[in-house]
Chain A
């Protein structure tokens, strides 16, 4: 997914780390990774450890980290847009205009990454980077612990109990699409993009599914 970007910039002191939030295990991510033939890091995160550390709620989200290991942009949607919400659900297609806008938004995001690597543009001063960080609440922390336990129980054959823990995690942290989708998809592959998903997306109303990055 990021191979072109990486090839373009790898000689400029740049690295891509792509992390699969994949609680069903590495084998579910493997076909995608092998197909991508990427030379950047492709890591597997079965416990959603990255989401816990950086308080992430959806995929794809990206964090920009400078040469000293400092966060210069907080977690943001990485190139995806909400145009999919207007697609024709029967044919699963978007209007030509929406498709064009979607590609343009993605390209604008990639251009911002290029500019950052080449000139440092778009790196936020500390105060602004800090202000953009999502706050971890007690409910979110509790949700993460339920999720962790749920993944373990499922991995050890205790499916029904694991489901219950994951459902509780999603109830405590309804803003996390990753938790909801993983809980649903473990149950039945494909369910995470089925009617229940669409109903949940519609319930957002005017709120975004992929909040646009504030570039």
Chain B
């Protein structure tokens, strides 16, 4: 199994030759669906070069790079990080809607920013280092 780290979570997936995986696994990991017109997110489809699709499988590393996202692998190529594309991050921030997130408190209880709608929020970072 290959470990894939995405911005929000991590997945264990059967892959070969890098990040070739079944279309079903690709959908589970990155949320994009393989259709005849390409890889699709809702109604938006990105055409796929013939070299990146074969026999119901997708080269997710190639697709991710095509979207402009960084693809970083561990030395043994068993752990991969799929980073967010800079355009995606910039567009999200420029909309000025505060990007939502869920993080645990010190007891492990998950807290989600958007639960605080209706209040002004002072969102501050700190560190013990």
Tell whether A159 is near chain B: CB-to-CB under 8 Å. Answer: no
Indicate the member of A45, A148, A165 with the most B CB atoms within 10 Å.
A148
B95 CB, min distance to chain A CBs, angstroms: 9
Could you give 26 example pairs across A and B, Cβ below 8 Å?
A2-B124, A5-B122, A12-B120, A14-B121, A15-B116, A15-B119, A15-B120, A19-B125, A20-B127, A26-B104, A28-B129, A34-B106, A42-B106, A52-B84, A52-B89, A53-B89, A65-B121, A69-B100, A71-B97, A133-B90, A133-B93, A141-B89, A149-B74, A153-B79, A161-B74, A181-B129
Q: Mark A58-93, 1 if CB is under 8 A from B, else 0.
A: 011111111111110000001000000000000000
Instruction: Knowing A2-B122, A19-B103, A136-B89 are in contact, say whether A69-B81 is a contact too (CB < 8 A).
Output: no
Q: Are B7 and A49 in contact (CB under 8 A)?
A: yes
Q: Are B122 and A17 in contact (CB under 8 A)?
A: yes
- Give the complex CA separation of A40 and B23 in angstroms: 43
A152 contacts which of B79, B116, B121 (Cβ < 8 Å)?
B79
A133 contacts which of B3, B7, B94 (Cβ < 8 Å)?
B94
Scan residues 36-81 of chain B and give those whose CB is less than 8 A from a CB of chain A.
Answer: 68-75, 79-81
- Give the complex CA separation of A92 and B127 in angstroms: 20
Interface residues in B, total, Cβ within 8 A: 54
Q: Mark A129-166, 1 if CB is under 8 A from B, else 0.
A: 11001011110111011101100110000100100010
Tell whether A167 is near chain B: CB-to-CB under 8 Å. Answer: no
Q: Which residue of A lies closest to B80 (CB)?
A: A149
Interface residues in A, total, Cβ within 8 A: 80
Q: Are A30 and B98 in contact (CB under 8 A)?
A: no
Q: Are A43 and B111 in contact (CB under 8 A)?
A: yes
Complex interface: chain B residues within 8 A of A1 (CB): 126
Tell whether B82 is near chain A: CB-to-CB under 8 Å. Answer: yes
Q: Are A51 and B125 in contact (CB under 8 A)?
A: yes
Q: Are A64 and B120 in contact (CB under 8 A)?
A: yes
Residues of chain A at the chain B interface (Cβ within 8 Å) = 1-2, 5, 12-22, 26, 28-34, 41-45, 49-56, 59-71, 78, 113, 116-117, 126, 129-130, 133, 135-138, 140-142, 144-146, 148-149, 152-153, 158, 161, 165, 178, 181-182, 185, 189, 192-193
Q: Are A70 and B7 in contact (CB under 8 A)?
A: no
**3 smallest beta-carbon distances between A and B, as pairs:** A145-B83, A149-B81, A43-B103
Q: Are B123 and A17 in contact (CB under 8 A)?
A: yes
Q: Which residue of B lies closest to A189 (CB)?
A: B129
Complex interface: chain A residues within 8 A of B104 (CB): 26, 43-44
Complex interface: chain A residues within 8 A of B94 (CB): 130, 133
